[in-house]
Amino acid sequence: MYLCKVSSSSAKIDIRNLSIDSLKQHFIDMGQPAFRAKQVYDWLWAKSCTNFDEMSNVPKLLRENLKNVYLINNIKIDQSQFSTDRTIKNTFKLYDGNIIEGVLIPATERMTACVSSQVGCSLTCKFCATGYMERKRNLNPDEIYDQVVLIDKQAKENYLIPLTNIVYMGMGEPLLNYANVLKSIERITAEDGLNMAAKRITVSTAGIAKMIKKLGDDQVRFNLALSLHAANDEKRNKIMPINEQNSLKALAEALKYYFSKTKNPLTYEYIVFDDFNDSLQDAIELAQFCKHIPCKVNIIEYNPISFANFQNAAIDKIEIFADYLKKQGITTNIRRSRGKDIDAACGQLAVKEK
């Protein structure tokens, strides 16, 4: 259960913050039959309706009453940028004027939405543009859901293909917005929601040990990815301050617990920075860390940002690094950047001040 947002100007309740049971009770209190709540709930979550007037099987008088009591704080696309590689970056405006970004990443066999979970970020990772922003607030479940709906519509309109995958790899740390992220996934995967498969969803974390354990306790069905970037505490501390409170030992223990509860293999995301974490010794340390639980490694091309001095490692060093991991029996993929020309690639999302 999470608190309703109330508009300061109208004192109306955002109807999407009500559970189906709460909505039924509200309708009963209004003198309406409970089945009307199910109709409205279906419009909100299965049909992604953001306008009471479009709820055609709801009596007009009731629709007018709903508008007097409730509102729908849906997000809107403020701007879209199109990359030469067909990636589309969206700037979304929230109901309170805050801005976030989300990306459509098209590929041959999949259409992926990269969504944000917070306005800004508090983790201050040294290589990530979002980390240089102030964290203003968490996103509500409906605001995350709306990103998926709008990007899915964009995929259909531009490429005639619906979304196949969702990654929580945009702005913010998902596990610091735990309840709302899980509620958004529940609405995205529910039969009376968007009905997408949980295995098509990946949540990426910078590594918060106690919350990884909570994912295990909740026996989540979606995929988990850990932004590792160094399997050495000294190096990881330099680029990811979160590691100072969540050491590699603590993360390893949390991941073992998570796997024991879910049996879900993990994905490690590893950006290879030039002359920082691209040596054979770094690969050896990563391979050792990979022994804790079944996993795969995605080696990610670094996308330089104006705030930091990191550079992407040379392609031959990346390939040597990947080959070593493969020889150790670790499934390893090298991921090429998408949308770099519009600042939509990994680590580049940041709302620019106007």
CATH number at residue 55: 1.10.150.530
Q: 203 near 184, Cβ under 8 Å?
A: no
Q: What is the mean pLDDT of residues 229-245?
A: 96
Residue 307 lies in a domain: yes
pLDDT at 336 over 90: no
**One domain, residues 276 and 291:** yes
Identify the helix (H) or strand (E) that includes residue 76.
strand 76-82
Alpha-carbon 100 to chain mean position: 12
**One domain, residues 285 and 183:** yes
**One domain, residues 43 and 115:** no
Residue 140 lies in a domain: yes
Residue 354 lies in a domain: no
Q: Which residues are catalytic?
A: 101, 346
Residue 242 lies in a domain: yes
Supply 282's token pair: 């770094």
Q: Which of 50, 71, 92 is the last residue of a domain?
A: 71
Query: CATH number for the domain including 111?
Result: 3.20.20.70
- Tens of pLDDT, residue by residue over 254-272, are 999 999 999 999 999 999 9
Apex 187 CA angle, 265 and 337, nearest 5? 50
Residue 349 lies in a domain: no
Write down the pTM of the prediction: 0.91
Burial bucket for residue 184 (CB in 10 Å: 0-12, 13-18, 19+)? buried
**One domain, residues 184 and 43:** no
Q: Which of 36, 71, 106 is the last residue of a domain?
A: 71
Burial bucket for residue 124 (CB in 10 Å: 0-12, 13-18, 19+)? middle
**One domain, residues 92 and 153:** yes
Q: 202 near 165, Cβ under 8 Å?
A: yes
**One domain, residues 280 and 266:** yes
Distance in angstroms (rounded) separating the CA atoms of residues 23 and 15: 8
**One domain, residues 42 and 100:** no
**One domain, residues 32 and 100:** no
Residue 4 lies in a domain: no
| 104 band by pLDDT with thresholds 50, 70 and 90 | very high
| 163 band by pLDDT with thresholds 50, 70 and 90 | very high
Q: Which of 71, 86, 104 is the last residue of a domain?
A: 71
- What is the percent of the chain with per-residue pLDDT over 90, rounded to a whole number? 81
Supply 211's token pair: 């919350």
Residue 348 lies in a domain: no
pLDDT at 2 over 80: no
Residue 352 lies in a domain: no
Whose tokens are 């067909």? That residue is 86
Write down the pLDDT at residue 338: 61
Write down the pLDDT at residue 4: 39
**One domain, residues 144 and 21:** no
**One domain, residues 31 and 143:** no
Beta strand 201-205 with 223-227 is parallel
**One domain, residues 59 and 197:** no
Write down the pLDDT at residue 239: 94
- Tens of pLDDT, residue by residue over 301-331, are 887 776 777 888 889 999 999 999 999 999 9
Q: What is the mean pLDDT of residues 203-224?
A: 98
Distance in angstroms (rounded) separating the CA atoms of residues 180 and 183: 5
pLDDT at 340 over 60: no
**One domain, residues 128 and 200:** yes
Q: Which domain holds residue 49?
A: 13-71
Supply 92's token pair: 């979304």
Task: Tell me the pLDDT of the chain averaged across its residues.
Answer: 91
Total of domains in the chain: 2
